[in-house]
Structure 1
Amino acid sequence: MSEETVTGTKPASSSTLTTAQRARIERNQAKAKKLREAKLVSHPYKNAKNNGNEELPVAGQDNAVIKVQGSKFIDTGGGFLLEQPVIAGNNAPTGASSEAAVIEDAIAIPVVYEECLDCGDQYADSYLFNNFGHSVCDKCRDNEERHSLITRTEAKAEYLLKDCDFDKREPVLRYISRKNPHNVRWGEMKLYLHLQVVQRAMEVWGSEEELARQHELREDKRVLGKTRKYNKEMKQLRMEVRSSIYTKKTKGVHVHEFGPETYNEADDTYTHACLTCPYTETFEKM
């Protein structure tokens, strides 16, 4: 490499160069020489010996096989090694054949396909099936109507269900948890699939007519309770406002019926007794 290539400028005459310029040229030449030597450096495993005293192949070869402590690895050239299964015999696969051996030795995981209840197609993964066990594919999922979600509180109020209907009755209804949008400090909401909640309500009440009748009964009880509370509050208000003329009705209170009076000369008093009970009363006359 010429001085022009190394320094990037046309070299000046040696007679015109200063001592500092000559030193800089020498440093650039040494740097360029080191760069050329670095490009010619072989793979670090070249000429190295492993525990079995076998020469390791150079990584520049395609899919080189490296043996480390009795285990064989495939050098991908990307900075990591792939473990190669040990095959008996001297004809160990290398290159593309070694990759095929690794693929053939892989464990086959069976994939279970489910059939969509709406379109009839088979699928291996679905949001509704993974979270709620409802066999519907993602293409047929309708978040707005048929596959909408409902909170536990709304489901209990609308379909008159109890906690045991969600957690104890088989099969237990599955749900997903979400943060409460009204206040993050409150507990997480439990969201159920609306379709499954309706089915559970039909199991509990038997029919939609019975569910409607139960709603009417509970509404009547609620109205009756409000009426009784209103009447009680109004009665209490009347007692407070008109306490001077309000007379409380009493039932079953004994009224004394006194007999003839008896005069006591010693203390100048009179005494009479009740005819129906042992009560006696002593008094004075003015």
Structure 2
Amino acid sequence: MSEETVRETTEAASVGGASSSKLTNAQKARIERNQAKAQKLREAKLVSHPYKQLENSNANGEQPIAGQNNPVIKVQGTKYIDSGGGFLLEQPVLASANKSTEAPAVAPIIEDAIAIPVVYEECLDCGDQYADSYLFNNFGYSVCDKCRDTEERHSLITRTEAKAEYLLKDCDFDKREPVLRYISRKNPHNVRWGEMKLYLHLQVLQRAMDVWGSEEELMRQHEQREDKRVLGKTRKYNKQMKQLRMEVRSSIYTKKTTAVHEHEFGPDTYNELEDNYTHSCTTCPYSETYEKM
């Protein structure tokens, strides 16, 4: 709308009813058209606040409809309202009465779903059935979580301790059937070292019985190895003591030293040009030149 049209509309409005009788029908029609254009221009430039629309709708008992003059945008589970001014406003929480009127969401029905049967295991301690267990998942040992005793019966042992205590080899863990299952953990002494392999103590004990046959045989093997260890230490000690006595007592042991070679020179040879003498060793190729005073 031009400035001339607005000026004419303002002048016409200021004149009022007193001067309306002086206007012609064409002028009255033109003023009405200009007033309608001005009203439409104000409505086009007016941006209504979305919170005001929500307050009006809640006051009237009506629930606002998303996308109708107040579009709702959902970002990461939170609903925002487009204000129309270049920013988003978080949608206010409606009254509980409005929530109660909403119909609950119905989960879609999948007709092609396959029913997977649940396999239950029987606990060796209490006899109850269970579907999931820490010992069964990690070690294949059928004991439920309620009966699990982490301090004594179901304690864990490292591979190094198991080899030293039960005299087992690497093949007894990895190659003998069934292969013993384990879990890996960071070494608590140094994080840069390799991971520890933790085995179930009961399974390691059973593997030791399979290898040695009985606890008596295992104890006998421990005694034999201890005797061999003591015998080896004794022999090493006696050898060191014998060597020490031989080094200290010269009457029993004569310390061997490298013999020093003594030259045996032959007759002297005189050199007239240089005026010196030369003689050579008769047992080695060494020769010596010297001058006589």
Give TM-score scaled by structure 2 length.
0.53
State how far apart, in whole Å, the 2-side matches of 1:140 and 1:146 are.
10
Q: How many residue pairs are counted as aligned between the two chains? A: 173
Deviation at 1:185, TM superposition (A): 2.0
- In the alignment, is residue 185 of structure 1 matched against residue 192 of structure 2? yes
What SS is found at the alignment partner of 1:220? helix
What SS is found at the alignment partner of 2:109? helix
State how far apart, in whole Å, the 1-side matches of 2:193 and 2:49 are.
70
- In the alignment, is residue 139 of structure 1 matched against residue 142 of structure 2? no
- In the alignment, is residue 150 of structure 1 matched against residue 133 of structure 2? no
State how far apart, in whole Å, the 2-side matches of 1:33 and 1:223 are.
94
- In the alignment, is residue 120 of structure 1 matched against residue 120 of structure 2? no
Give TM-score scaled by structure 1 length.
0.54
Q: Which amino acid aligns with 2:191?
A: V
State how far apart, in whole Å, the 2-side matches of 1:197 and 1:34 are.
71
Larger Rg: 2
What SS is found at the alignment partner of 2:115? coil
- In the alignment, is residue 237 of structure 1 matched against residue 269 of structure 2? no
Going from structure 1 to structure 2, the CA distance change for 1:41 and 1:96 (only over 3 Å counts) comes to closer
Going from structure 1 to structure 2, the CA distance change for 1:42 and 1:203 (only over 3 Å counts) comes to same
What SS is found at the alignment partner of 1:112? coil
State how far apart, in whole Å, the 2-side matches of 1:149 and 1:167 are.
17
Deviation at 1:178, TM superposition (A): 1.1
Deviation at 1:105, TM superposition (A): 3.7
What SS is found at the alignment partner of 1:139? coil
8 Å Cα contact 2:246/2:253 also seen in 1:
no
Deviation at 1:37, TM superposition (A): 5.6
Deviation at 1:235, TM superposition (A): 1.0
TM-align CA RMSD: 3.1
8 Å Cα contact 2:247/2:253 also seen in 1:
no
Going from structure 1 to structure 2, the CA distance change for 1:98 and 1:229 (only over 3 Å counts) comes to same
Stretches of structure 1 that go unaligned for 5 or more consecutive residues are 1-25, 47-58, 60-77, 80-94, 249-286
- In the alignment, is residue 171 of structure 1 matched against residue 175 of structure 2? no
Deviation at 1:247, TM superposition (A): 4.3
Q: Which amino acid aligns with 2:209?
A: M
